[in-house]
């Protein structure tokens, strides 16, 4: 069933939810349609009113800002929906880029869809596609993988889950975790071509391209960089598929438990994700290996 959309074709702005992309660094990167609608809405739901205040004061946008973030979303969602039902026009923006893309908003949109509340999206910048575009890697098929877990064991499991995806992979990352993530990517995905895109659209924009090993070595030598980062990694290299015999499963389980110090549970989750074998079966093998060791 097609859901209702709102159109801003007329000068009167209809009631509904307006999901609006904002700049990822360069304040000029906002569409004239986005500014027109932000100028007409009754309220703007935003993650941090101080961050969005810079945008609204720069463009003289008068609408009141309502905080909508991970910690108050459950409480604020019904209030925003009630406002729209009363006939108000509500915009949703995030600190930067496309709302919902590693940012709040998904549940609000899902709820509006379920209640057939009119909504539309005014698209614009996102760091994910900006980095992909500049990476020099294939763009015909890609997967946005969001943020990896901060701890290495969980990160390796998450990487194993996407290892076989036949597409360019896009990850968001923070500067302090860049070196660890590049190391884990090389260990799990193999030495693939990649790009580290930093401070996109800002004064110190930089895109460094190379094999994961070269990028890792560069940042090891120069230290962690500053600013916001996207890592783009090429898809799997043809012919690098693995043969998951019982021996291969046991070998990797031993390596993860003994050399990497993973628990039985973590090692089983890791090997299951990497091999595609059921977690329960791998867990049983891991338990046996541990018992043999005792
Ligand atoms: N909604 C945003 C979007 O559409 O790109 C993403 C928000 S997410 C909380 C923040 C992450 O996006 C950063 O940690 C970084 O990985 C990436 N990012 C945002 N702005 C960036 C920029 N100017 N340059 C590089 N990466 C950026």
pTM equals 0.84
Name the residue with higher pLDDT: 273 or 229. Answer: 229
Q: Which residues line ligand 1 (CB under 6 A)?
A: 24-25, 94, 96-98, 101-103, 126-128, 172-174, 197-202, 228-230
Tell me how far apart the terminal alpha carbons of the chain are, to the nearest angstrom.
59
Q: What is the pLDDT of residues 163-193, one digit of tens each?
A: 999 999 999 999 999 999 999 999 999 999 9
Residue 8: its pLDDT value, please?
47
Least confident of 9-23, 105-119, 206-220: 9-23
Closest among 29, 37, 96, 90 to 65, alpha carbons compared: 90
Residue 130: its pLDDT value, please?
98
**Please, what is the Cα angle at 101 between 13 and 79, to 5 degrees?**
50
Q: Of ligand 1's atoms, which has the minimum distance to the CA of residue 202?
A: 23
* Proportion of the chain above pLDDT 90, given as a percent: 79
- Tell me whether strands 89-92 and 16-20 are parallel, antiparallel or unpaired: parallel
For residue 216, pLDDT over 50 is answered with yes
What is the distance in A from the centroid of ligand 1 to the CA of 244? Answer: 37
Radius of gyration of the chain, Cα coordinates, nearest whole angstrom: 23
């Amino acid at each position: 069933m097609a859901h209702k959309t709102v159109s801003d074709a007329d000068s009167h702005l209809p009631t509904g939810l307006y999901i609006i992309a904002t700049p990822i660094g360069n304040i000029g990167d906002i569409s004239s349609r986005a500014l027109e609608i932000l100028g007409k809405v009754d309220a703007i739901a935003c993650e941090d009113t101080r961050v969005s205040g810079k945008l609204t004061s720069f463009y003289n946008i008068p609408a009141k800002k309502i905080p909508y973030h991970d910690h108050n979303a459950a409480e604020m969602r019904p209030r925003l929906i009630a406002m729209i039902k009363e006939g108000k026009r509500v915009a949703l923006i995030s600190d930067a880029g496309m709302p919902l893309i590693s940012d709040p908003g998904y549940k609000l949109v899902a709820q509006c869809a379920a209640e057939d509340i009119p909504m539309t999206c005014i698209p614009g910048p996102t760091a994910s596609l900006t980095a992909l575009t500049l990476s020099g890697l294939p763009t015909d098929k890609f997967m946005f993988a969001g943020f990896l877990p901060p701890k290495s064991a969980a990160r390796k499991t998450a990487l194993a889950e996407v290892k076989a995806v036949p597409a360019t992979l896009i990850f968001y990352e923070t500067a302090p975790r860049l070196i660890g993530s590049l190391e884990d990517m090389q260990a799990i995905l193999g030495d693939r071509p990649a790009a580290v895109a930093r401070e996109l659209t800002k004064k110190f924009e930089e895109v460094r391209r190379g094999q994961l090993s070269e990028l890792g070595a560069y940042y090891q030598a120069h230290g962690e960089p500053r600013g916001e980062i996207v890592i783009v990694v090429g898809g799997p290299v043809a012919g690098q598929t693995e043969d998951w015999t019982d021996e291969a499963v046991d070998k990797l389980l031993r390596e993860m438990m003994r050399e990497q110090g993973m628990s039985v549970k973590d090692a089983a989750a890791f090997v299951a994700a990497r091999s595609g074998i059921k977690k329960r079966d791998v867990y049983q093998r891991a338990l046996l290996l541990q018992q043999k060791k005792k």
